[in-house]
Structure 1
Amino acid sequence: MRFPRSSDTELLDVIDRYVKSTSDGTGRYLHLLHANFSRVEEQERTPFLQSLRSAAEAITDEELEVLLESDWRSRLTAAWLIGVDRRQHFQDMLGDLLLASQLCFAGQGYCFALARFCTEADALYLATYLERYLQQPDCQYDQHWAISALLHIDRQTGTEHAGRFLAPGGLWHQWNDAQFKPVPPSPFISELCALADTPR
């Protein structure tokens, strides 16, 4: 995977416009982190989603690539923008970044975007990720997001990719039971995808 070499000036400009910029001044990435925007009142959520969709349509592929070579805030935001606009040509790049798991929190955005693309290839990336990281109970990465994304794809396509992980005694339960606060798998990414498609 190759990323473009952006200048500091270019990177800071793109970050200011897409990662930090929101009408309330708190930073778009903070609303996207843990899908915080989904837990606020509708009158606050609606303008944020409108802004997110506008940004997803306006940002260029080159600017997205600039963000994907930066820190977790920029990668998280870029992945959400890619997912909202369903720019499927980023599929392999996001899949590779998910499997590498180099930065905290960014994987949330990768899982959302792959769920939005909703193809067999996306399911394979997510299943490969789960196969790798569910066998590492000390790694509390984005396993909840990945299983939710896989459940969403299964629901949309009629497949059963998540079944082998969720079977009694399967990798999901082995990993989840080893966590300080075990949490059952949730279809929350289906809800996020529905919000992304809410009419303006």
Structure 2
Amino acid sequence: MSHPSAPDPELLVAIERYVKATTHGRGRYLRLLTAGIARAEDREPFLRALVTDAREITDRELGILLESHWRPRLAAAWLIGVDRRESFRGLIGELLLESRYVYAGRGYCFALARLGTEEDARLLTAYLDRYLRRPDLVYDQYWAISALLHIDGRTGSTHTERFLVPGGLWDQWSGGQYEPVVPSCFMDELCAVVAAASETGH
């Protein structure tokens, strides 16, 4: 008779420190899930802890979290983005395209927006090319288009144009849900508050 394997002790430790870390009684992953860091009253201590952990977490710990379920993956992706760990770019792109777990993709989109290169734009474009053709799936299309808009704004590229032409893939997808919605640039604000916290040494 087979028995379920015991939880990985390294994973449990990493989850306690980097995923469940609390600020004012709320778990970190919940704040990251809702992007509730930009306007929160307790933004400063939350960002201070996030930046510190992003600098201190090891690549091994990040890898362990990215092999787990959506909460660790979400937190790990944010930490990768905050510290701009470019070595994880390819894996983040693969996980985003796979879209195996709900919510984790929000973190992947943030990470790619923070890395902000042409390669990151290519990965976001690949995701949008696949999932904007699926109006039956509401995954992380809003986050991906906002991340791509952020990169376009920073680099002067025009990757989003073909998605946003009238009647294009964005209209086809969002219209398949309710009615066409103009994509938001909320990723600009998220990246700005994280950049400011990182630069001031929080």
For the residue of structure 2 that corresponds to 1:169, the secondary structure is: coil
Tell me if 1:51 matches 2:49: yes
Give me the whole-angstrom Cα distance separating, in 1, the residues matched to 2:84 and 2:118: 15
For the residue of structure 2 that corresponds to 1:186, the secondary structure is: coil
Return 5+ residue gaps in structure 2 as ranges. 1-5
Contact 1:104 1:141 in 2 (8 A): yes
Aligned-pair identity in percent equals 59
> What residue number does 1:165 align with?
163
Q: How big is the shift at 1:184?
A: 1.8
- The count of residues paired between Structure 1 and Structure 2 equals 193
For the residue of structure 2 that corresponds to 1:138, the secondary structure is: coil
Aligned mate of 1:156, from 140, 145, 154: 154
> What residue number does 1:101 align with?
99
Superposed, 1:69-148 pairs within 5 Å as 69-148=67-146
For the residue of structure 2 that corresponds to 1:172, the secondary structure is: helix
Q: How big is the shift at 1:36?
A: 1.7
Give me the whole-angstrom Cα distance separating, in 2, the residues matched to 1:159 and 1:21: 37
Return 5+ residue gaps in structure 1 as ranges. 1-5
Cα distance per residue 1:73-99 (max 9 Å; x no partner): 000000000000000110000000000
> What residue number does 2:20 align with?
20
Q: How big is the shift at 1:12?
A: 0.6
Q: CA RMSD in A?
A: 1.4
Give me the whole-angstrom Cα distance separating, in 2, the residues matched to 1:119 and 1:197: 16
Contact 2:37 2:190 in 1 (8 A): no
TM-score (norm 1): 0.93
Tell me if 1:33 matches 2:33: yes
Give me the whole-angstrom Cα distance separating, in 1, the residues matched to 2:58 and 2:70: 19
Q: How big is the shift at 1:136?
A: 0.4
Give me the whole-angstrom Cα distance separating, in 1, the residues matched to 2:66 and 2:131: 22
Q: How big is the shift at 1:30?
A: 0.6
Q: How big is the shift at 1:34?
A: 2.3
Cα distance per residue 1:106-146 (max 9 Å; x no partner): 00000000011111111111001001000000100000000
Contact 1:34 1:108 in 2 (8 A): no
Contact 1:19 1:74 in 2 (8 A): yes
Contact 1:76 1:110 in 2 (8 A): yes
Give me the whole-angstrom Cα distance separating, in 2, the residues matched to 1:74 and 1:184: 31
Cα distance per residue 1:11-64 (max 9 Å; x no partner): 1111001100123332110110020222422xx111101110001011000000
Give me the whole-angstrom Cα distance separating, in 1, the residues matched to 2:36 and 2:157: 29
For the residue of structure 2 that corresponds to 1:137, the secondary structure is: coil
Q: Which amino acid aligns with 1:20?
A: K
Q: How big is the shift at 1:181?
A: 6.0
For the residue of structure 2 that corresponds to 1:37, the secondary structure is: coil
Q: Which amino acid aligns with 2:94?
A: D
Give me the whole-angstrom Cα distance separating, in 1, the residues matched to 2:27 and 2:180: 30
